[in-house]
Amino acid sequence: QSALTQPPSASGSPGQSVTVSCTGTSSDVGFYNFVSWYQQHSGKAPKLMIYEVTKRPSGVPDRFSGSKSGNTASLTVSGLQAEDEAEYYCSSYAGSNNWVFGGGTKLTVL
Amino acid sequence: QLQLQESGPGLVKPSETLSLTCTVSGGSISRSYYYWGWIRQPPGRGLDWIGSVSFTGSTYYNPSLRSRLTVSVDTSRNQFSLELSSVTAAETAVYYCARHDLHSNCFDYWGQGTLVTVSS
């Protein structure tokens, strides 16, 4: 059982927006602004998409955005494209030099 | 462009020690604010942080693995390593090495991963 809770699946049609949630506790997601999101295509390594809740690394399309409210962080993919179909994982700093991940959400582009 | 590459045995017997090395190229491992981490992913499951090491040898370990885990660094070879003792079949997974940015608390560069199977 993962420390952070994500829905197992999400889906949307091309051009639509989809939001993936990541629920933690007041000791991790709710306390620190250190939530990151990773995209993993099948058989590939994870790729950093969002860090510090809302920031995008260079090269990540601005269709990807992050937010947080209370103990829940969210990743929104706008203008959904076929190449966005992948597994998405959230992660948070949990204090005491410990880092935790979510169980992953499979995003399907219909 | 920073690149990381895992290496080590793909098969380990139960109760033995799993050992992997990550070679970093395209940049020095000896940089402040960066640690070097290990993350694993059992087949069909999510990611799990194992532990991280700085170029000075300072370490952070997942509390659930601390008693069996050693993560070390060799700056002369630009490498860092993982040793996990007394492994079980449940620890069969793809093991990834990654750069751990402690300023932003994220993993920004990843290796391709290596599958380690624990089986007799």
Q: Across the strands, what pairs with B93?
A: B116
pLDDT at site A2: 66
Q: Across the strands, what pairs with A86?
A: A107
Backbone angles phi, psi at A97, to 5 degrees: 55, 50
Cβ of A100 within 8 Å of Cβ of B96? The answer is: no
pLDDT tens by residue, A32-80: 999 999 999 999 999 999 999 999 999 999 999 999 999 999 999 999 9
> What are A's interface residues with B at a Cβ cutoff of 8 A?
2, 32, 34, 36, 38, 44-48, 51-52, 55, 57, 89, 91, 93, 97-104
Task: Kindly identify which residue of chain B lies nearest to residue A91, measuring between CA atoms.
Answer: B106
CA distance A65 to B57: 35
Eight-class DSSP state of A82: G
Chain B residues touching residue A8 (CB < 8 angstroms) = none
pLDDT at site B59: 97
Distance from CA of A14 to the nearest CA of B (A): 26
Q: Across the strands, what pairs with B96?
A: B39
Eight-class DSSP state of A79: S
CB pairs under 8 A between A and B: 62
Chain B residues touching residue A103 (CB < 8 angstroms) = 45-46
Instruction: Give the pLDDT band of residue B47 (cuts 50, 70, 90).
Output: very high
Taking residues B5-11, what's their average pLDDT?
97
Distance from CA of B61 to the nearest CA of A (A): 7
Cβ of B105 within 8 Å of Cβ of A57? The answer is: no
Instruction: Give the pLDDT band of residue B116 (cuts 50, 70, 90).
Output: very high
pLDDT at site A1: 61
pLDDT tens by residue, A35-45: 999 999 999 99
C-alpha distances (whole Å) from B89 to each of A53, A69, A80, B17, B68 are: 35, 39, 39, 12, 15
pLDDT tens by residue, A11-41: 999 999 999 999 999 999 999 999 999 999 9
Cβ of A97 within 8 Å of Cβ of B60? The answer is: yes
Q: What percent of chain B has pLDDT over 90?
A: 98
Minimal Cβ distance to A89: which of B47, B108, B111: B47
Cα-based angle A52, A62, A10 (whole degrees, multiple of 5): 80
